[in-house]
Structure 1
């Protein structure tokens, strides 16, 4: 199975690639700067490293990029600096999701393609009418005004929900929502919920990046797990020790 990973050089994207390789997949990894990648990737015949800024690719190049891939995973995000937060492209994740999905539909694959998006617990699944406190609504409203990346995350998931939908002939999707991301060296026990079980603003949990990568890889490779969560926005937390 060939999996296309965009945002592969990011902190979570790297963990996803490692998990996919461990589970026996071939990976096409799109990265801006291949020089910073682990040396083990450069000598691994199961990885094709594609040095590119995704949104700079033409529609034809995007079509070629997605052709032959059984699954696509996006770990794209904005750099946590002034340019990354307030510079362009402000709709990095949303535009990437839209263009990748358009490329899949243009290819008209014989089997449906799995699309796994890394999202955030700060974003609600509006299909479930998730309730949040008035105080959290106020904070989220401020985030929408002050932090363009938050709006980008919302719109990316909404594109999958409302534009791709649950009856698309070519694409099935899931949007994985971790809480506050931390680094761990090993996969640990974690739990998955349909919706947040705690406030993402006032009582956030912890989710290790390696656990996110593990869960996303399992979604791609485990048919039963995929059937349970496709078309949904599962929330992942590290299990309390």
Structure 2
């Protein structure tokens, strides 16, 4: 399969690209700073590196880059700096999701493509009954007001839920919700749930970035796994030795 990855040079995106290559896929990677990429990528015939800022691409470019893809995976996020959090573009993830989906609609593929979005456990799946405590509601409300990246993540998944929905002719989707992200060198055991099993604010778990990349790649390549989670917002946690 051919997969377009945006946010490919990020901490999670790199793991996703590696896992996709291990599973025998061809990857198109849109990256803003190609000089930061591993040298092995630059000499790999199975990777096409596209040097660009995703929102600077024209609609024509978007259509051309997505026309032969079987899936699109987004690991986009905001840098944890003052400029990254409060500067432009504040709707990076949402606008990229919308424009990529519009490109797919323009291309009108013969079978639906998969759109896999890395999201956050702090975002509720409003298609399900996911009750949270009053205290967590207050904290999330403050995050929504004070931290634009949180609202961006919410709007991106809302676009998929409400504008693409469950029965689109050209697009199927899943939004992956990891808990507190950590760095690990190897994949470990992890578990997937339809909804959080613990408080994202007051009892947060951990999820390694490499496990997120592994799960996203498996979602794209495993038909049965995709059919289980398409149109949903699965939560991923590391399984600790004490669990």
TM class by shorter chain equals over 0.9
Q: Which residue is 1:231 aligned to?
A: 231
Q: Which residue is 1:214 aligned to?
A: 214
Q: Which residue is 1:83 aligned to?
A: 83
In structure 1, C-alpha distance between the alignment counterparts of 2:144 and 2:129, rounded to whole Å: 19
Q: Which residue is 2:142 aligned to?
A: 142
User: Aligned-pair distance for 1:119?
Assistant: 0.3
In structure 1, C-alpha distance between the alignment counterparts of 2:53 and 2:147, rounded to whole Å: 22
- Per-residue CA deviation, residues 140-198 of structure 1 (Å, 9 max, x unaligned), is 00001100000000000000000000010000000000000001100100000000000
Any gaps of 5 or more consecutive residues in structure 2? none
In structure 2, C-alpha distance between the alignment counterparts of 1:238 and 1:143, rounded to whole Å: 24
TM-score by length of 2: 0.99
In structure 2, C-alpha distance between the alignment counterparts of 1:234 and 1:144, rounded to whole Å: 21
In structure 2, C-alpha distance between the alignment counterparts of 1:211 and 1:165, rounded to whole Å: 27
In structure 2, C-alpha distance between the alignment counterparts of 1:238 and 1:44, rounded to whole Å: 31
Map 1:4-43 to 2 at 5 A: 4-43=4-43
Q: How many residues of Structure 1 are paired with residues of Structure 2 in the alignment?
A: 241
Any gaps of 5 or more consecutive residues in structure 1? none
In structure 2, C-alpha distance between the alignment counterparts of 1:197 and 1:120, rounded to whole Å: 14
In structure 1, C-alpha distance between the alignment counterparts of 2:40 and 2:74, rounded to whole Å: 22
Q: CA RMSD in A?
A: 0.4
In structure 2, C-alpha distance between the alignment counterparts of 1:167 and 1:36, rounded to whole Å: 39
Q: Which residue is 1:120 aligned to?
A: 120
Map 1:190-209 to 2 at 5 A: 190-209=190-209
